[in-house]
């Protein structure tokens, strides 16, 4: 059984209350089409279980397969520094089918982020260390592809369609109760 | 179908750059059968050497072999003596799970090399198939062709699957002296990930800092 080796901390991007009975962690890649499929599923589950679930997203960019994944992750981190991680996260997935470098800058513009500063941050790979730390924490926890989910620290070995992911979460909730 | 669009900020529906947010999520959701194709990816046991546990285990001498890595280049395991080797058998080029597994390992090459290890992939696919696969996926490690006699090397390591005619998804970590220090057989449909490999490499004493980088540059398929 693979378990999350690095617990969710304040360094993570988190939605939902800290004392929620269930913590869902996703390791994802912004250019991975399967993550794109999982995105609305996670959204729906978070809406459904609002107040009872905490969600953290960690980067797992497979850059050789997805040349924009690393940059997109760094863009999300940049947005995070300006308090807009989740809006950027959502925008990237919602525009995944047309992901491009100019497009990422356009998304930053749409969120009112300083684009020149973003260019410099990307150029200096200011967030590469954070992204790599996420990636390695995933590898050491048994992430073998994206998306990979952990429910209360245990890797979810089922699928990530709504029914399967929801079933895994409900099971964890019952175990907590 | 309930989807998450309600949670989106209305102003993001269409921005001035023409970025449209997905309105018809049903289209996206309709493709969810794709996701369920990958359900099996995670299924099954992961710890220890499980069923069919007749693959070579720790302490065994790694059988030497010579296979093609490119149409005109052959490589022997014995050429790696003095370095650590990760031998990753997999069933087939192009199948989704292997793709993920090899893509992950490809991404981890710097980490493997930091730990003094070379990565070699082995399947029964032919050299031209390997070449196309490696080029398509930007792999920076050697894929060896266990093609003729088919599966001979996989058989020597105990991971050939007669029934399917492919190599099982077996991993071997081999030390500088050519001795297996860790092995693991994953169910055919399950990508074993890399945590076991990294744990095994870290349990070994510090890597003999051979010139792994320049040596591996030679071996790129």
Output the pLDDT for position B218. 47
Q: Check which CATH number belongs to the domain holding A62 and give it.
A: 3.40.30.10
The catalytic residue positions of B are 98
In this model, does residue A127 exceed pLDDT 60?
Answer: yes
Token pair for B8: 């989106």
- What's the mean per-residue pLDDT of chain A? 96
What percent of chain A stands above pLDDT 70?
99
Identify whether the C-beta of residue B115 lies closer than 8 Å to the C-beta of residue B202: yes
Question: CB contacts < 8 Å between A and B, how many?
Answer: 133
> CA-to-CA distance for B120 and B143, rounded, in angstroms?
6
- CA gap B121, B6 in Å, rounded: 46
- Give the span between the Cα atoms of B211 and A64, in whole angstroms: 24
Over the stretch B86-110, which tens digit does the pLDDT of each residue have? 999 999 999 876 568 899 999 999 9
Higher pLDDT, A91 or B48: A91
Predicted pLDDT at A1? 67
R_g over Cα of chain B: 21
Residues A111 and B53: their CA atoms lie apart, in Å, by 54
Segment (H or E) for A107:
helix A101-110
User: Nearest Cβ partner of A110 from B2, B19, B194?
Assistant: B19
In a domain, A36, yes or no: yes
Mean pLDDT of A164-175: 95
Portions of chain B given CATH number 3.40.30.10: 48-219
Q: What is the mean pLDDT of residues B60-65?
A: 97
> How far A5 CA sits from the closest chain B CA (Å)?
11
Helices (H), chain B: 25-30, 32-37, 96-107, 109-114, 127-137, 152-156, 195-203, 212-219
Contact yes or no for B106 and A142 at CB 8 A: no
Chain A contact present for B191, CB below 8 A? yes
**Which of chain A's residues have a Cβ under 8 Å away from the Cβ of B107?**
62-64, 135
B-facing residues of A in 105-124 (CB < 8 A) are 106-107, 109-110
B179 touches chain A (CB under 8 A): no
CA distance B155 to B219: 24
Pairing outcome for strands A22-28 and A53-59: parallel
A30-45 pLDDT per residue, tens: 999 999 999 999 999 9
Full domain range(s) for residue A48: 13-176
pLDDT digits (tens, 9 = 90+) for B125-174: 999 999 999 999 999 999 999 999 999 999 999 999 999 999 999 999 99
Q: Is residue B141 within 8 Å of residue B221, measured between CB atoms?
A: yes
Q: What is the pLDDT of residues B4-19, one digit of tens each?
A: 333 333 333 333 333 3
B50 interfacial to chain A (CB closer than 8 Å): no
Number of domains in chain A: 1
Positive or negative, the Cα torsion across B86, B91, B92, B94? Answer: negative
Which tokens sit at B51? 């069923």
Phi and psi (nearest 5°) for B212? -65, -40
| Partner residues linked to A118 by β-bridges | none
User: The domain B48-219 belongs to what CATH superfamily?
Assistant: Glutaredoxin (3.40.30.10)
């Amino acid at each position: 059984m693979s378990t999350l080796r690095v617990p969710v901390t304040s360094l993570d991007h988190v939605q939902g209350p800290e004392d929620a009975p269930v913590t869902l962690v996703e390791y994802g890649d912004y250019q991975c089409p399967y993550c794109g499929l999982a995105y609305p599923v996670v959204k729906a589950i978070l809406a459904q279980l609002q107040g009872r679930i905490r969600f953290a997203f960690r980067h797992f960019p497979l850059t050789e397969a997805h040349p924009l994944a690393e940059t997109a992750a760094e863009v999300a981190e940049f947005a995070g520094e300006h308090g807009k991680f989740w809006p950027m996260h959502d925008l990237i997935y919602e525009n995944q089918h047309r992901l491009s470098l100019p497009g990422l800058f356009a998304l930053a513009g749409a969120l009112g982020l300083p684009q020149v500063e973003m260019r410099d941050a990307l150029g200096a790979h200011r967030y590469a260390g954070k992204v790599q730390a996420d990636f390695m924490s995933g590898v050491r926890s048994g992430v073998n592809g994206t998306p990979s989910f952990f429910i209360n620290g245990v890797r979810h070995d089922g699928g990530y369609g709504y029914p399967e992911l929801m079933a895994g979460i409900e099971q964890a909730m019952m175990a907590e109760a | 179908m309930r989807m998450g669009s309600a949670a989106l900020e209305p102003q993001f529906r269409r921005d001035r750059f023409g970025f449209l947010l997905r309105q018809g999520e049903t289209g996206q959701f309709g493709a969810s059968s794709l996701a369920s194709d990958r359900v099996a990816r995670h299924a099954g046991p992961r710890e220890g050497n499980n069923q069919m546990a007749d693959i070579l285990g720790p302490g065994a001498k790694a059988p030497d072999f010579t296979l093609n890595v490119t149409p005109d280049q052959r490589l022997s395991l014995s050429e790696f003596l003095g370095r650590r080797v990760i031998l990753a058998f997999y069933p087939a080029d192009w199948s989704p799970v292997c793709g993920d597994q090899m893509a992950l390992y490809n991404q981890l090459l710097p980490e493997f090399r930091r730990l003094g290890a070379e990565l070699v992939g082995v399947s029964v696919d032919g050299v031209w198939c390997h070449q196309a696969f490696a080029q398509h996926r930007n792999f920076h490690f050697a894929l060896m062709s266990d093609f003729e006699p088919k599966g001979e090397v996989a058989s020597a390591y105990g991971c050939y699957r007669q029934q399917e005619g492919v190599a099982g998804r077996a991993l071997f970590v081999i030390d500088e002296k050519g001795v297996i220090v860790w092995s693991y057989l994953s169910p055919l449909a399950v990508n074993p990930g890399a945590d076991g490999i990294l744990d095994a490499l870290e349990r070994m004493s510090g890597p003999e800092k051979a010139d792994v980088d320049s040596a591996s540059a030679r071996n790129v398929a």
